[in-house]
Amino acid sequence: MNGVTRPCLPDWVPVEISRYLAHTVSQISIRELARSAACHPSTVMRQIHRVEQLREDPLMDGALQRLSELCDADSDPSGEISHYKEEDAVRSLTLLSYGGAVLAVGRDMPKAVILREVGSEVHKTVIERSLAEILALRDWVSCFSSGRVYRYRLSKDGRSALAQLSAKAEACHRSRMETTTQSGLAGQIAKLSQSDAIHAKRARYGQQDTPLQTLARLVDRDGNSFLSKEMVRAGERLREDFELAQIGQHVATERRVFDDNPRAAEHAPGPTNALSRDAFQRASTALCALGPGLSDIALRCCCHLEGLEVAERELGWSARSGKIVLRIALQQLHHHYESLPPQTQMIG
């Protein structure tokens, strides 16, 4: 699209809205808009009529009024709708993704509120009206009840947008963490206060979220967690055995390097060797119980902490299939640990 159809508007504004404002505010004819868009004038006219009918919605009407101020050179727009944070949109869409959650707003209300039931209580989250207008403008929420108070639900496009924005935020976070060196992490910890530094050092596997922790935060449309607590504990137990086995191998290697008698050091009895052997045996048994495919994704994501996108690419799987296979692997892993005798259960 060129400047004729998108005058002074943000890039995220839908094309239909841009053409409507170009015609009503900038006084550009329908034929000229159709010529610049390489379509029939009747197509542009139907789009303009459709947007005009949407102005009965208070959020749509408010959003169009704010965007009209951006197109009007003589006005002084506030800029609230032209510059918004995607984090706020993701937070609002996430709240609306819970079962029964609604967005309520009145024509004269300066704010909007998200209502959702949690048990026997109703939680209220107040958001800016300009943010609610953006959600309605982008067709991420749909009105299902009108009157003194208008009520909105998360639309199908809103769910798709939530998935895309969440994936984008996760990719940016992962990129920042992967490009941060160990010295950079040490510098970040050094800048913290003494109490904060203690909590930072208590992190179990470092500051970077594991793929398991990322999936554990996902919820479905009914508000249920994508991974149960039992699945998460099973994946963490596999990683603990894997790490213990790796530590034992590193200690044995160092002993062979620094000991005067390498053969004696290799066969020297000690708790470290026994602990690593037992951990290696437990991890190997668990992976063999999963079988091919499931053991591959469990080893990569739970033990080596590879991201799902990297694991899918390395294994040659289709996009977004890794989390489903990993969930199945964690289910089988939980059943495997549950089938073991009580004396093999680990403490903690």
* String of DSSP letters for 80-117: TTTS--HHHHHHHHHHHTSTT-EEEEETT-SEEEEEEE
What is the phi/psi pair of residue 25, to 5°?
A: -100, -50
Do 5 and 18 meet the contact criterion of CB atoms below 8 Å apart? Answer: yes
Average pLDDT, integer, range 84-108 = 87
3-state class of 260 per DSSP? coil
Q: Can you list the positions of beta strands (E) in the chain?
A: 102-106, 111-118, 121-128, 141-145, 149-154
For CA atoms 136, 115, 165, 83, give the dihedral sign: positive
Nearest to 202 by CA among 218, 211, 189, 220: 189
| pTM summary value | 0.47
Q: What percent of the chain has pLDDT over 70?
A: 73
Do 113 and 126 meet the contact criterion of CB atoms below 8 Å apart? Answer: yes
The pLDDT assigned to 104 comes to 93
Average pLDDT, integer, range 46-62 = 86
Highest mean pLDDT among 178-182, 186-190, 219-223: 219-223
Mean of per-residue pLDDT scores for the chain: 76
Q: Which of 7-16, 82-91, 238-247, 252-261 has the lowest mean pLDDT?
A: 252-261
pLDDT digits (tens, 9 = 90+) for 116-127: 887 778 889 999
Token output for 50: 């459709």
